[in-house]
Structure 1
Amino acid sequence: MRKLNWKKTVAVSAALALCVGTLAGCGSSASSSTAASSEAASSTAASEVSSEEADEVAAKNVADLIDAIYVQERNENTDEQCKAAKDAWDALTDAQKELVEGEEADPDYFGRDTGDASKDDPRNEDNIGDNELLVVSFGTSFNDSRVKDIKGVEDALQAAYPDWSVRRAFTAQIIINHVQARDGEKIDNMQQAMDRAVANGVKNLVVQPTHLMHGAEYDEMMEMIDDYRDKFESVAVAEPLLGEVGADATVINEDKEAVAKAVTAEAVATAGYDSVEAAAKDGTAFVFMGHGTSHTAKVSYSQMQTVMQTLGYDNVFIGTVEGEPESTSCENVIEAVKAAGYTKVVLRPLMVVAGDHANNDMAGADEDSWLSQFEASGAFDSVDCQIAGLGGVADVQQLYIAHTKAAIDSLNG
């Protein structure tokens, strides 16, 4: 980012002033035209400084407006704040946009192309009817991923259960605000979605979280649902993708096995291999990067590694961005892959959506991305990335459908 260099500005102004003073004191040795030229140069420098300062002020204003909506709580001014931030951004010149930098703000907030938001469906309409299937996701501001991974799951559920009205809620207000400000798409948060259901007279509510596990986001979702249970005749909550957590790393279930098979099959095929065994013989390892958590549900990642080993996928490794559990940190995964003797690596997210973490933490150009760290280790002949979320995998969508069926069946006793 180009910042205004005040020391340089002062030095230039002082030099110009000294030059003018010297010329004036020299009498006949300096012509009037030279003095005029010096004054013009001084005026130009002052104008440039003023222009740079104006650019900085305009960019700072946008950064402040972005930071104001980069919050996890919605308030009565959120809609106006989102519009103000976008209007101010649109009023900037290209040069000014490059200067936008705040606590959370940067030029990518509005400037990064993440796909066509018009292909998405926020599913926030009324006329719900008696039966609502509310699909709750953390969310993503990456439009293409939201369409493929989140809308993909929602579309599959709507097709499977045509007698239920599928609606959407995101738990991340930061993402809701980002999408609204940049693309004009309004997505309900949990409270808005629950209020909408009540206002529409919904009798039977089934909630299908797209969350990976029973973690912190799932717990917060359950707290909101519990506050509204008495507003409906019946409420059922379906399992997250990996099902019940289990006591330790040795406890696995059918859900985790199904996800392990699905994501591995997709990764293997995308990499151009006929089987995981063929990839192993070619020296290729697959590393699936999850988010990680300090929640007790973090054992789920260790269980996924156990599942891979149980299935005989010795060239498949589980990692996490947060490095929790510790064995799943990038450094430890690199050492594990090296120790196993694999010379080629394919990175792929173990996340429902291929959003910020997949594009930046996994495949980004910064030196702390997983791609950069694997390459910097010097231990591998090649490191490739597959940027694709679990939500776009057909077998994963079928697993969500099965979880929803169990929840609907529970309403019928």
Structure 2
Amino acid sequence: MSMTVSAPATASENTEKPAIVLVAFGTSVDTARPVFDYINDKACERYAGYDVQWAFTSQFIIDKLKKQGIVTRNVEEVVADLRKQGKKNIVFQSLHVVPGQEYRSVVDVDMHGLNVAFGDALMTSAADIAAVVDALGKDIDAQQPTVIVAHGNDHHSEFNQQLVAFAKTIEPQYPNLVVASVEGQPGITPLQKIKVLSEEIGTVKFVPLMIVAGDHIMNDVMGDEEDSWKKIIQADKSVCSQSLGWNDAILEIYFNHLDQAMQTLEEGRG
């Protein structure tokens, strides 16, 4: 369900196209960042004539990129800039996978005096989960031992509920597939099932449930350290598919959420 925060609108504000702010966690991995360009191109194509901007929720990533001479902004900075431009109508679209800690940080930003709506994270409803399962179908071979790589949350178990629900939805459809997470539930215990399966078949495939395949995929999953998922499973061959941001069916879910948020904003201004 899209969220909206509205202020009384003047006649000119009622005709003003909202600014669109795409909000991601961010990444400092050079080879992973092009996915943001791809998403931006798709958004600008779909929402031609709209001001499409970006914000990251990880201040650590923002600061790290700044040291490399790469300027990115957090949500507060984007909002401040839009205020200076006199913009009153803003739609934020989360590019997070679940409505967890990072998503909440966007909603909690001070938006007083603005007409604002928030598009849902990827897997917010049961219908979203079903749509994601369908969207991942092209990356899944029913006979191939497969691990869907989620992030998860060690500190707030309530933010793992959607991942658990997703696992309960997709795993019965693919007996050789498990959902595992870097943090929280479902954790890495499911990897043991894939370890056994890969001993018979010889390969394992990792499918990121992340908008960008950054540090977690490169190191926690595909790294050469002894505690990486690749090393735990010990398959003869380990491969990894592209991240969610390259999947047009996944982007369609996000953009549908954005469309709903824009409608909510329009109704609030009417």
Classify the TM-score, shorter chain. 0.7 to 0.9
Instruction: Provide, for residues 233-285 of structure 1, a one-character-per-residue CA deviation record: whole Å limited to 9, x for no partner.
Output: x21100111124xxxxxxxx2211222222241x23xxxxxxx34xx1xxx21
Residue ranges of structure 1 left out of the alignment (5+ in a row): 1-128, 245-252, 269-275
How far the C-alpha of 1:212 sits from its partner, in A, is 0.7
Q: Does 1:337 align with 2:194?
A: yes
Native 8 Å contact 1:289 1:320 kept in 2 = yes
Larger relative contact order, structure 1 or 2 (CA cutoff 8 Å, min sep 6): 2
Q: Does 1:181 align with 2:38?
A: no
**Given the alignment, which residue of 316, 333, 347 partners 2:177?**
316
Question: Residue in 2 aligned with 1:144?
Answer: 31
Native 8 Å contact 2:124 2:162 kept in 1 = no
Native 8 Å contact 1:156 1:401 kept in 2 = no
Native 8 Å contact 2:146 2:194 kept in 1 = no
Native 8 Å contact 1:371 1:385 kept in 2 = no
Instruction: Provide, for residues 147-182 of structure 1, a one-character-per-residue CA deviation record: whole Å limited to 9, x for no partner.
Output: 22x232222222111132100111111111222222
Native 8 Å contact 2:19 2:87 kept in 1 = yes
Native 8 Å contact 2:117 2:265 kept in 1 = yes
**Given the alignment, which residue of 188, 193, 216 partners 1:357?**
216
Native 8 Å contact 2:145 2:197 kept in 1 = no
Native 8 Å contact 1:287 1:317 kept in 2 = yes
Question: Residue in 2 aligned with 1:254?
Answer: 127
Native 8 Å contact 2:167 2:178 kept in 1 = yes
How far the C-alpha of 1:335 sits from its partner, in A, is 2.4
**Given the alignment, which residue of 134, 140, 146 partners 1:286?**
146
Question: Residue in 2 aligned with 1:157?
Answer: 43
Aligned counterparts of 2:181 and 2:265: Cα–Cα separation in 1? 36
**Counterparts of 1:262-277 in structure 2 under 5 Å?**
262-265=135-138, 267-268=139-140, 276-277=141-142
| CA 371–340 in structure 1, closer or farther in 2 if over 3 Å, else same | closer
Q: Does 1:306 align with 2:168?
A: yes
Runs of 4+ in structure 1 displaced over 6 angstroms?
none
Aligned counterparts of 2:91 and 2:55: Cα–Cα separation in 1? 13
Aligned counterparts of 1:319 and 1:404: Cα–Cα separation in 2? 28
- 1:195 counterpart SS class: helix
- 2:32 counterpart SS class: helix
Higher share in strand: 2
Residue ranges of structure 2 left out of the alignment (5+ in a row): 1-15
Q: So what's the TM-score if we normalise by structure 1?
A: 0.57
Native 8 Å contact 1:287 1:345 kept in 2 = yes
How far the C-alpha of 1:130 sits from its partner, in A, is 4.8
Q: Does 1:348 align with 2:221?
A: no
What letter is aligned with 1:289?
A: V
**Given the alignment, which residue of 82, 85, 95 partners 1:200?**
85
Question: Residue in 2 aligned with 1:409?
Answer: 263
Instruction: Note the aligned Cα RMSD (angstroms).
Output: 1.9
* Identical counterparts, % of pairs: 26
Aligned counterparts of 1:366 and 1:158: Cα–Cα separation in 2? 40
Question: Residue in 2 aligned with 1:134?
Answer: 21
Q: So what's the TM-score if we normalise by structure 2?
A: 0.85
- 2:22 counterpart SS class: strand
Aligned counterparts of 1:337 and 1:387: Cα–Cα separation in 2? 17
Higher share in helix: 1
Aligned counterparts of 1:316 and 1:411: Cα–Cα separation in 2? 40
Q: Higher Cα Rg: structure 1 or 2? A: 1
